[in-house]
Structure 1
Amino acid sequence: MRKLLFSTALSCSLAIAALLGTTNAAAADECAITVESNDAMKFNTANVVVPATCDDFTVTLKHTGQLPKQAMGHNWVMTTKADGQAVATDGMSAGLANNYLKPNDARVIGATDVIGGGEEATATFSVKGLNANEEYMFFCSFPGHIGIMKGTVTVKA
């Protein structure tokens, strides 16, 4: 009988540990996302959810197309909705060497480098200070791309 009770207790402990491990892994996964872009000037998502419980959030951008970054480069840039168009406009004159973003632009919350077909880039930014009531957006700052390549960022409290 003791052996059966010990075996049952051990099985329950292992099951609980497995569940806790899964929960922790899921929480870590909530603080990161992979977004794809392509030669047709499209992101594979229109909304990115950033949990307010994350300290930092990581975006990995993959370019699934074939064209080089000089011709069809993409990046992932996050700003407030109010600042998005102005950041993209100011970035045009900054050029590819600056990822089409004005250097040290305080309006940029997070941004990847501009990449071409087959490449990927990652950016991590702090979630502290983001407000669930604020409207945020993401877009590609390559000249002319913001008109099509944009989406919303929702901070989930």
Structure 2
Amino acid sequence: MTRRLPVLLALLALLPLSATALARNCAIAIEADDLMTFNLKTIRVPGDCVQLRVTLKHVGRMPATAMGHNWVLAETRHHRDLGLAGGRMKIADAYLPRDDARVIAHTPVIGGGQSVDVVFPTSRLRKGGDYTYFCSFPGHWNMMKGRLVFE
């Protein structure tokens, strides 16, 4: 038994690490086009995801200055205000107010043929919360949007 004790202690020491190792990193891909649409209207994120990677691919042809798109996530109650505020910002700011706490995650603005990723912890989300993702390019935010569900 004395030989097994160090092995058992080593295994017990690994238990906290195993919970972290079992935590899921999740990923989704979404497309935007020159017609100001996303290919997904709802994104469902499993509740056991601790981190989410969103890959935005602009499948259109127009440049970012003419028909750029990004992916912004916020609580639905902030969607309109962020969209309006973004219209006063610049492309370098991703058409969003800088360091605005209402923005949970966002990508830069990209043009046709480009793709970009954003990775963020799901600790900023609540199960059953009301979230909207949208493009903050001026004029796009009101029609180019969808719902994110954290299950």
With normalisation by structure 2, the TM-score equals 0.82
The count of aligned residue pairs is 129
What one-letter code is carried by the residue in structure 2 that aligns with 1:128?
Answer: S
CA deviation string 1:79-128 (max 9, x = no partner): 00000111111111121110101110100011111000000111011101
The answer to whether the Cα contact below 8 Å between 1:37 and 1:62 also exists between their aligned partners in 2 is yes
Deviation at 1:133, TM superposition (A): 2.2
- In structure 1, the partner of 2:142 is 147
Does the alignment pair 1:127 with 2:122? yes
CA distance in 2, matches of 1:111, 1:140: 9
Q: Which runs of 5+ in 1 are unaligned?
A: 1-23
- In structure 2, the partner of 1:4 is none
Deviation at 1:140, TM superposition (A): 0.3
User: In the TM superposition, what are the counterparts of 1:1-157 in structure 2 within 5 Å?
Assistant: 28=25, 31-156=26-151
Q: Which runs of 5+ in 2 are unaligned?
A: 1-21
Cα 1:133–1:119 change in 2 (3 A) is same
Deviation at 1:54, TM superposition (A): 1.2
What one-letter code is carried by the residue in structure 1 that aligns with 2:122?
Answer: V
- The alignment partner of 1:146 has SS state of coil
With normalisation by structure 1, the TM-score equals 0.79
Deviation at 1:132, TM superposition (A): 1.5
CA distance in 2, matches of 1:86, 1:50: 25
CA distance in 2, matches of 1:137, 1:71: 24
CA distance in 2, matches of 1:81, 1:62: 23
Root-mean-square deviation over aligned CA pairs:
1.2
Residue identity (%): 41
